Structure 1
Amino acid sequence: MGVGVASIWAFTVLPRSLPSVSALENFEPSRGTKVFDENDELVTEFHVERRIFTPLAQIPKALKDAIIATEDTRFYSHYGVDPMGVARAIYQNFRHGRIVEGGSTITQQLAKVLFLTPDKSLDRKLKEAVLAVELERRYTKDRLLEMYLNQIYFGHGAFGVEAAARTYFGKPVSDLTLAESALLAGLPKAPSTYSPFDRAEAAKRRRSTVLARMLEVGFVKGEETRRAAATELQLVPPERRRTTGQYYLEYVQQILEQQYGADLVFKGGLQVYTTLSPTMQLRAEQTLREGLRALETRRAKAAEKAGAAPVTERPEGALLTIDPQTGYIKAMVGGYDFFKSEFNRAVQARRQPGSAFKPFVYIAALEAGFTPASVVEDSPVEYAVGPKGKPWKPDNYDRKFRGPVTFQQALEESINVAAVKVQERVGIRRTLDVARRLGVESPLSENLSVALGSSDLTLLELTSAYGALANQGTWMRPTAIRYVLDAQGQLLEENVPEGKPALSPELAYVITHMLKGTVERGTGVAAKALGRPVAAKTGTTNDYSNAWFIGFTPHLVTGVWVGHDRPKSLGRDETGSRVAIPIWTAFMASVLAGTPVQDFPVPEGVVVVPVDLHPGEGCIRPVLMAFISGSEPRDACGPARSGSTAHASPGVAADPAFGQPEGARVGSRQSP
């Protein structure tokens, strides 16, 4: 009597409090966002649940049979609840003295996954049974099986058979073999326990159990079973399980969430086509790690030699590379290991760039009418700072003074005092205006110490700014996304490269030529190992706490930063030249291998003439300097060349040495 009343209640009263199964009429699981690289190859997906919906017709018979044999052999004959299956489960569990088999049908499991919580109460089991019956009344068996196979969890973030096939075997579900199908079919019961990645032997035993069950119900023959059971696990190799470009992809995800909201990004099935170069990204990660490990080794040896305690805090770093003609970010590494620290130092960390900021000062000077051959006095100077006039005495890295120097020499050798005097002469606001035009958005201090890179910038800002020099003065907004499609393939967003003129092509070439001198003779000379024309600048801050190198060829600009998350010394003499250049050079040599060696094109309106690098020496040490036509010195060491013929050999433009300016705010001694 009690059972009858309970049954009436369960199938007449209880359904009123349950969700309607009609909501599944147009069932399609939520779909994550697919992310593609520059070659339109799939890189990853953003999802709450990693799932790729696959129609039943595309799922191999072996996998469907394996699932049915394992989970619900009477699936095509019961009405949602299987009394015989329940009875069998009770018997098996009693015989083994523990839970070895569940009584839920595939339809009941689907009802639980779609509508109910995972608790194991009697109330939940009753609801599960009622919903299963309702599902069977409304949908065909094939439709229910399709929903089930696309919904269940297989471990390691994979929901549904397609995601599982790609996760474990790196292939579409339609290509699975019998052995692979049997392995997948054994996972839903306990994905962690039978994980082939973590517990290979347990996974093999579970696969054998599934194959035996398939043989028992007549889905396979004995010889097929033996061959499949003897097959070695052929899984996705460990190196392919870990997606490269995690910092890059996280950056893309954050942009998408800001633009479209998290719900659409993780559930809306967007298709995002990025600017990511998989080859460059892989090499960027490898070379940065190699460089950081080399630094650690040097520090350990130095500590051992000094009898000091070993340094335990690992240095961090970032590498960013951009196509200067488009602004496309080709590779981005924000740290040594994304899985240990998701903080993206390429875009989120603001640090003093040191001497890497100096090109902005010299650009402002060129715009004010000075030239690479203009002369500044490198001699002691003192500035009154603040209301009490506290003195600030900028110093050079080597604590030496050189007397009169050309702007070319001052930039090449990263002479601090010269940069401050040039800054004072041309005006701080001119320099800040240059930085803004070149895409710098971080706050900048309005004091003379900004010439030495005292204001914090991101690697993205600095690398993008240098990119404008490579692009003949046109700044391209850096972007990681080419275009975005919705789930139906409709265009939502397209980022067509659009430049903003920041400098004249002539002036951009002159500063680029000056920065080539940094590599040919100055603080960036180690980058000559690349064996092709490079314009670049090093940067090192007080106590060697930040090491920078930003350099570019005509078609690629790359920036490297190395430091600690909590600023502290990298070690004595660990400058941008010693720490950052080797990383930069190794990366650029790898990604540019096999490409034509090209120099920077000389625009019309620019002449290149030989001028002595040191004023007052006649033509003892002539070097090529670039000038906007008409501004070249009259006493050059040889004839001028212009346009495409501009390659010659160096007298001195005798601009008066700058006086001793007053009034600045405190800065600090910066290293080259």
Structure 2
Amino acid sequence: MDRRLRIALGILIGVLGTAVLTLGIITGLAIASIENIRDLESLHDQESALPSQILDRHGRLITEFFSDENRELITIDELPRHLIYALITREDQTFFDHRGFSFRGTARAAWNLVTNRYVSGGSTLTQQLAGHLYADRNDFSLYRKVIELWWALQLERHWTKYEILEAYLNRMWFGHGNYGVEAASQFFFGHSAQELTVAESVMLVIQLANPSLYSPIRRPNQARNMQRVILNRMVDLGYATQDEVDLSMEQYWSTYDFTRANTSTAFFEREDRAPFFSEYVRYELENRYLLGTLNVNTDGYVVHTTLDLDFQEAADRHVRTGLARANSVYRQNIASRVSRGDDLVPVIELLALGFDTPNLQVGHSKQRHRARQEYQENINPLVDAITLLFGTGHDPLRHATRESYAQRRSTSLRSTVEGALVTLENDTGHIMAMVGGREFESRNQFNRALSGAMEPGSAFKPLYYAAAIDQRVLTPATMIYDAPMVFTADNGEPYAPRNFRNEWVGPVLARYALARSMNVPSVKILDMVGFSTGLDVSARLLGIPEEERSARGFERRYPVALGTVQVSPIEMAAAYSALANQGRRRTPLGIRYIEDRTGRVIMEPEAEVRREDRRSGAHQPVISPQAAYVITDMLQTTVTSGTLRYARNVAGGFDQPTAGKTGTTQNWRAAWTVGYTPYYSTAVWFGFDRGGTNSLGVNQTGAITTGPVWGQYMKDIHRNLPPREFVRPDGIVEATVTARQGLLPPADYSGRTIREVFIAGTQPTQFDRSDQFAQQQAPELVSRLRTSLDRASFSLDSSGPALHRQLDLSLDISPEGRRERTADREPPEDPTDDRWDGEGLPLELLQDQLDLTPAPWDDGGGVNPLLD
């Protein structure tokens, strides 16, 4: 043998020996560094990250929680064969022949790199799975490849080929936050992996190598080209026919949605049938229950909630319709005001020119406003699209478009009517439905139902009315005089509430003062029960801790009687629910119990909440069952003949006993309706996130705007429920009283009487003598009038024809006569009188949402205009 050949052979043997020795050392070190290597069976115990499922009270899926891994497990037997063929074609064509490592595949990968013709990598499917499970795939070192190889050999020893394929397809990343082929199929195509076509299978498989490069959402052209390459390769290998792949390819791209946002991820496109409620549940899980190492996004919990998806669907539908109507009316109100202002512009401009007063020139200002509006709504989106296509993302034009969006967003917060709805089950406190805003999106996730701090207006009144009834200083038959009055607070601050149009009715019973939401009688009632008791009971019904009350506006000031405190819709629903539940307040809750991925119950939040209520004494009645029954009976009048009568008529009547109250805050900035049946309590709020001095308009009150939403929704959720009455406790008595003064009618009483309910011992004991007094005073009053006329030299026998025809001194000052003369300005004492609606407008006018006639019966909107 030639000497040079022997030297070369020796060098080669030495290099190979050194390589083998080095490989052996590295392999030994790798094996030594692997923990738990003796327990190879633990490979089967590897748990995949699973999303947590959120279920409604009937076990129906609301949504799933996951972070970067959206995963659903599926068995290999459920998958179509062409998916397996596509995977093998793309990633490992010798998969069923090798034992974890492929020299042929490694050589092919090297050749592809040299020729710049990448089709598949060098690692086998088994190596890829091993690397995913046991190595850092971001480490591109020989050390990591050795670890992958060793674990791949172990997987091949302990698992079958189909077990490896099943684990691979359920664990690997397919892009856009999806792990596993089932989750990926649902995300990309909207159906299960069991239904994948050949073209869809290939599209999923090519995501495995580089989802960012071959994403059909972000780079459809590149994805399509690679899809065609793999399909043709499958034909070459005999896994599919040419006609089959051509037809599948044509069907795939003929129905492809090119408008899908290129920022789509599984998280933001996940189905969520109650998004505001779901985020509330997520917060409770992460901040109260699943603490420490527990992860709601990956540990596969099953969370059983209190929500009813049927209720939620009805809530979404009615709130959406109501908000569309409220925003439409608001815009028309604004347009009406602007058009009236436009009529004055020429006159003002003429005055500015005539008197040389530039400050009066408003025409240019209005033009600038309209130009700004046109740019923000129509031009700025186009400019933004251009900067995205051709800009750098940091240029001044891009910055300007962002500022314009921010300004428009700020304007929207002040000029878009938002809404919230929440329903509680009275017996349990379960949250049955929750709507936190118009729509749940990345820029609108604030849950107004839970976290809103709004003034409730007149909807606050029943809470301290209940306190006054419980303290036995008020009954439904207590007569209160409605007339102008100035109240003086402890600090000397005067307060003079008024009714709208400054109209007063004189004597009125408490039942009808509440039903018609009269302001002066309400302030008098808070004065009767006292600030301390009235506000304390109200706050306890709402569930507001003592340390928060001052910051929420619970202060010894008379305006608080008209609802100037800060509350949320869920607190209002809970307070009214306590009235329906015999005075016992139930803590609202949304989670019943939680299971782990094996079905084992690990937590019971509902039981925990109830134990805490018993420990703290929160389960004790806030007011007596008797007081709760009486205020409930009064609030039923609000529905039959008061501010909620229009809502009842729109809903077509109620099949259950129903009680409630509306509220309209100062300057008509927000509208409320809160009400309940023996089953459920619901609060509805419409208003502005940043209202300031903005107003919904005088034609948008609680009775007109939120009342119909509440009424129709309550009618829907009570369908097919058996009739149920409010619980009537012991200690309730009934008595017949006069409709004018609420006292016992004497034997010869000729006026109208009503049947009234009382807490035993509070029923009236005095007789109503007003009828007798009127009859006694009538002759004397007529005599005084005649004397006054005589002194004025005014002859009753004058020959003036007009006098004989028009003058009538047959005065009828009986209660009946007074009612007849004042029928056009007093609210009816008869609850069935059709001449008055809940807020003083005829029902036919209420049907016209654009009617601007102010209501003579205030629902909280007629408070002192000096109040903030």
Asked if residue 260 in structure 1 is aligned to residue 380 in structure 2, the reply is no
Q: Which residue of 1 aligns with 2:263?
A: none
- Specify the code of the residue in structure 1 equivalent to 2:274: G
Residues 160-559 of structure 1 mapped to structure 2, 5 A cutoff? 160-168=180-188, 172-174=192-194, 176=196, 180-191=200-211, 209-221=229-241, 225=245, 228-229=248-249, 231=251, 242-257=271-286, 258-261=288-291, 263-264=293-294, 265-307=296-338, 312=412, 313-339=415-441, 340-369=443-472, 370-385=474-489, 387=491, 389-441=492-544, 443-444=548-549, 445-447=554-556, 448-494=558-604, 495=606, 500-529=620-649, 530=651, 531-532=653-654, 533-559=657-683
Q: Deviations 1:292-326 (Å, cap 9, x if unpaired)?
A: 22222112212222227787432222110111122
- 2:171 is paired with a residue whose SS is coil
Asked if residue 587 in structure 1 is aligned to residue 603 in structure 2, the reply is no
| 285-294 or 405-414: bigger deviation | 285-294
| 580-589 or 14-23: bigger deviation | 14-23
| 366-375 or 193-202: bigger deviation | 193-202
Do the aligned partners of residues 150 and 484 (structure 1) sit closer, same or farther apart at CA in structure 2, a change above 3 Å counting? same
Q: Which residue of 1 aligns with 2:151?
A: 135
Q: Which residue of 2 aligns with 1:74?
A: 94
The 8 Å contact of residues 659 and 675 in structure 2, kept in 1 or not, is answered as yes
- Specify the code of the residue in structure 2 equivalent to 1:151: R
- Specify the code of the residue in structure 1 equivalent to 2:272: T
Shift of 1:413: 1.5
Q: 2: distance between equivalents of 1:616 and 1:459?
A: 35
Shift of 1:563: 2.0
Do the aligned partners of residues 621 and 399 (structure 1) sit closer, same or farther apart at CA in structure 2, a change above 3 Å counting? farther
Shift of 1:177: 5.7
The 8 Å contact of residues 179 and 229 in structure 1, kept in 2 or not, is answered as yes
The 8 Å contact of residues 479 and 741 in structure 2, kept in 1 or not, is answered as yes
Do the aligned partners of residues 164 and 620 (structure 1) sit closer, same or farther apart at CA in structure 2, a change above 3 Å counting? farther
Q: 1: distance between equivalents of 2:420 and 2:712?
A: 14
The 8 Å contact of residues 583 and 621 in structure 2, kept in 1 or not, is answered as yes
The 8 Å contact of residues 539 and 547 in structure 1, kept in 2 or not, is answered as yes
Do the aligned partners of residues 186 and 590 (structure 1) sit closer, same or farther apart at CA in structure 2, a change above 3 Å counting? farther
Q: Which residue of 1 aligns with 2:382?
A: none
- 1:332 is paired with a residue whose SS is strand
Do the aligned partners of residues 523 and 125 (structure 1) sit closer, same or farther apart at CA in structure 2, a change above 3 Å counting? same
- Specify the code of the residue in structure 1 equivalent to 2:302: Q
Q: 2: distance between equivalents of 1:456 and 1:586?
A: 27
- Specify the code of the residue in structure 1 equivalent to 2:424: I
TM-score calculated relative to the size of structure 2:
0.66
Q: 2: distance between equivalents of 1:623 and 1:9?
A: 104
Asked if residue 50 in structure 1 is aligned to residue 70 in structure 2, the reply is yes
Q: 2: distance between equivalents of 1:589 and 1:203?
A: 52
Do the aligned partners of residues 318 and 216 (structure 1) sit closer, same or farther apart at CA in structure 2, a change above 3 Å counting? same
The 8 Å contact of residues 612 and 619 in structure 1, kept in 2 or not, is answered as no
Q: 1: distance between equivalents of 2:754 and 2:117?
A: 87
Q: Which residue of 1 aligns with 2:168?
A: 148
- 1:371 is paired with a residue whose SS is coil
| 195-204 or 470-479: bigger deviation | 195-204
Q: 1: distance between equivalents of 2:47 and 2:568?
A: 43
- Specify the code of the residue in structure 2 equivalent to 1:293: A
| 437-446 or 557-566: bigger deviation | 437-446
Shift of 1:558: 1.0
Shift of 1:35: 1.4
Asked if residue 615 in structure 1 is aligned to residue 741 in structure 2, the reply is yes
The 8 Å contact of residues 463 and 541 in structure 2, kept in 1 or not, is answered as no
Q: 2: distance between equivalents of 1:100 and 1:610?
A: 93
Q: 2: distance between equivalents of 1:609 and 1:207?
A: 84
- Specify the code of the residue in structure 2 equivalent to 1:406: L
Do the aligned partners of residues 553 and 507 (structure 1) sit closer, same or farther apart at CA in structure 2, a change above 3 Å counting? same
User: What is the total number of aligned residue pairs between the two structures?
Assistant: 638
The 8 Å contact of residues 28 and 53 in structure 1, kept in 2 or not, is answered as no
| 158-167 or 1-10: bigger deviation | 1-10
Shift of 1:252: 0.8
Q: 2: distance between equivalents of 1:570 and 1:112?
A: 62
Q: Which residue of 2 aligns with 1:570?
A: 695
TM-score calculated relative to the size of structure 1:
0.83
Asked if residue 63 in structure 1 is aligned to residue 83 in structure 2, the reply is yes
Q: 2: distance between equivalents of 1:422 and 1:330?
A: 34
- Specify the code of the residue in structure 2 equivalent to 1:501: P
| 497-506 or 314-323: bigger deviation | 497-506
Shift of 1:535: 0.9
Q: Which residue of 2 aligns with 1:561?
A: 685
Q: Deviations 1:495-532 (Å, cap 9, x if unpaired)?
A: 25966433433322211111111122222222212211
- 1:266 is paired with a residue whose SS is coil
Asked if residue 628 in structure 1 is aligned to residue 759 in structure 2, the reply is yes
Q: 2: distance between equivalents of 1:580 and 1:504?
A: 30
| 603-612 or 430-439: bigger deviation | 603-612
Q: Which residue of 2 aligns with 1:12?
A: 25
Higher strand proportion: 1
Do the aligned partners of residues 85 and 440 (structure 1) sit closer, same or farther apart at CA in structure 2, a change above 3 Å counting? same
Do the aligned partners of residues 200 and 377 (structure 1) sit closer, same or farther apart at CA in structure 2, a change above 3 Å counting? farther
The two structures, once aligned, show a CA RMSD in angstroms of 3.8
| 133-142 or 618-627: bigger deviation | 618-627
Shift of 1:579: 2.5
The 8 Å contact of residues 647 and 704 in structure 2, kept in 1 or not, is answered as no
Unaligned runs of 5+ in 1: 638-648, 651-666
Q: 2: distance between equivalents of 1:198 and 1:611?
A: 77
- 1:331 is paired with a residue whose SS is strand
Do the aligned partners of residues 372 and 601 (structure 1) sit closer, same or farther apart at CA in structure 2, a change above 3 Å counting? same
Larger CA Rg, structure 1 vs 2 = 2
Q: 2: distance between equivalents of 1:4 and 1:51?
A: 46
The 8 Å contact of residues 395 and 669 in structure 1, kept in 2 or not, is answered as no
The 8 Å contact of residues 63 and 271 in structure 2, kept in 1 or not, is answered as no
Q: 2: distance between equivalents of 1:670 and 1:502?
A: 34
| 283-292 or 614-623: bigger deviation | 614-623
Q: Deviations 1:63-98 (Å, cap 9, x if unpaired)?
A: 333222222212233454544334434545665x56
The 8 Å contact of residues 51 and 162 in structure 1, kept in 2 or not, is answered as yes
Shift of 1:259: 1.4
Do the aligned partners of residues 515 and 89 (structure 1) sit closer, same or farther apart at CA in structure 2, a change above 3 Å counting? same
The 8 Å contact of residues 540 and 670 in structure 1, kept in 2 or not, is answered as no
